[in-house]
Structure 1
């Protein structure tokens, strides 16, 4: 039985998936009529939001967060949010634990598979709206990752991020080295870079 027009908005949170709508009794015809009338808008494959739900700051991040709750901004994308690089990546760098599914999304994403045992190290939450968030690595973890993955990301990303991080008030190289101790592949090169810069 299809839900009534007055109940639709309260029955379906924003954003909601195609399957959410079907599970709550909405027909395809009604769903697409709402979309065509402008009452809802598509923000990803099979992902919708109510048009009167206020300003959506970043539909790409919201789509990623809904499709992959463990998704975490990393590398250039996270460094840019922390003000540690001027690079504007063409795609959004997102990490998921190795062995987890990388969902199909409309957003331009570069998926990175990180080791499950260190995935949570330095992971924080970035609010997208009142109900949704996405993971983001803190500044120290981003610097360490830039050194750890310099073979693929290039050495300049890590060097620039480290120089900017060191200029921040209260930055302690010891805290960066503690973070790096969980990633032996990065520790030696990071220690060497710190010796050069300090």
Structure 2
């Protein structure tokens, strides 16, 4: 059972030598928790805030923490998200049965921009602080302008962050480049 990842599917369990009934017994015994359709997490193996992302990654390796969840992770927001915001490339089917996940579809041509490892051991990814700020501005109609401006202000006040880095990231997203530039002019 040592070959079993922290978040796993029944296929992963089978590959590690466990039968389906043994996984179900593990759930009853409190060793595993079912977090999605056919996806399980070994109890206590992960930070609880990363369980949904790890489970999504077990099903879709491209799963990436984004938007509000990433803002909180990068200390750019004080919101307490109800679930985890996870992006997949547009056209990739969102896994079913995840109660605490809000799925987002991002353009495949820009999906990898700003994507960075969150936890190398578990293969978890999030978007960088700069990409997250850009995404909140891109989706301001969903996220709200207050969220976007607050995130930008907090990003600016963190050590080592320079407007040129954010504008460089925003250059890959032409529709928001000028609006981010305008807000930066006012704030700096």
Q: After TM superposition, give the deviation of residue 61 of structure 1 in Å.
A: 2.3
Residue 57 (structure 2) pairs with residue 72 (structure 1): no
Residue 89 (structure 2) pairs with residue 97 (structure 1): yes
**Take 1:32 and 1:148, find their aligned partners in 2: how far apart are those partners?**
42
Q: After TM superposition, give the deviation of residue 161 of structure 1 in Å.
A: 0.7
Contact 2:53/2:63 (<8 A) preserved: no
Structure 2 match to 1:138: 128
CA RMSD of aligned residues (A): 2.2
Q: After TM superposition, give the deviation of residue 86 of structure 1 in Å.
A: 1.0
**Take 2:42 and 2:74, find their aligned partners in 1: how far apart are those partners?**
31
Match of 1:101, SS state, is coil
Corresponding pairs, count: 185
Residue 154 (structure 2) pairs with residue 164 (structure 1): yes
Q: Which moved more, 1:88-97 or 1:42-51?
A: 42-51
Residues 176 and 21 of structure 1: CA distance in aligned 2, closer, same or farther (over 3 Å): closer
- Structure 1 residue ranges, 4+ long, deviating more than 6 angstroms after superposition: none
**Take 1:170 and 1:14, find their aligned partners in 2: how far apart are those partners?**
34
TM-score (norm 1): 0.82
TM-score (norm 2): 0.86
User: Higher Cα Rg: structure 1 or 2?
Assistant: 1
Deviations 1:99-135 (A, max 9, x none): 11111143411111111111111110111xx741221
Contact 2:89/2:108 (<8 A) preserved: yes
Contact 2:83/2:100 (<8 A) preserved: yes
**Take 1:34 and 1:60, find their aligned partners in 2: how far apart are those partners?**
19
Unaligned regions of 5+ residues in structure 2, if any? none
For 1:1-198, list aligned pairs within 5 A. 9-10=1-2, 12-22=4-14, 26-38=18-30, 40-44=31-35, 45-49=37-41, 55-58=45-48, 59-127=51-119, 131-198=121-188
Match of 2:61, SS state, is coil
Contact 1:63/1:107 (<8 A) preserved: no
Contact 2:113/2:131 (<8 A) preserved: yes
Residues 81 and 50 of structure 1: CA distance in aligned 2, closer, same or farther (over 3 Å): closer
Unaligned regions of 5+ residues in structure 1, if any? 1-8
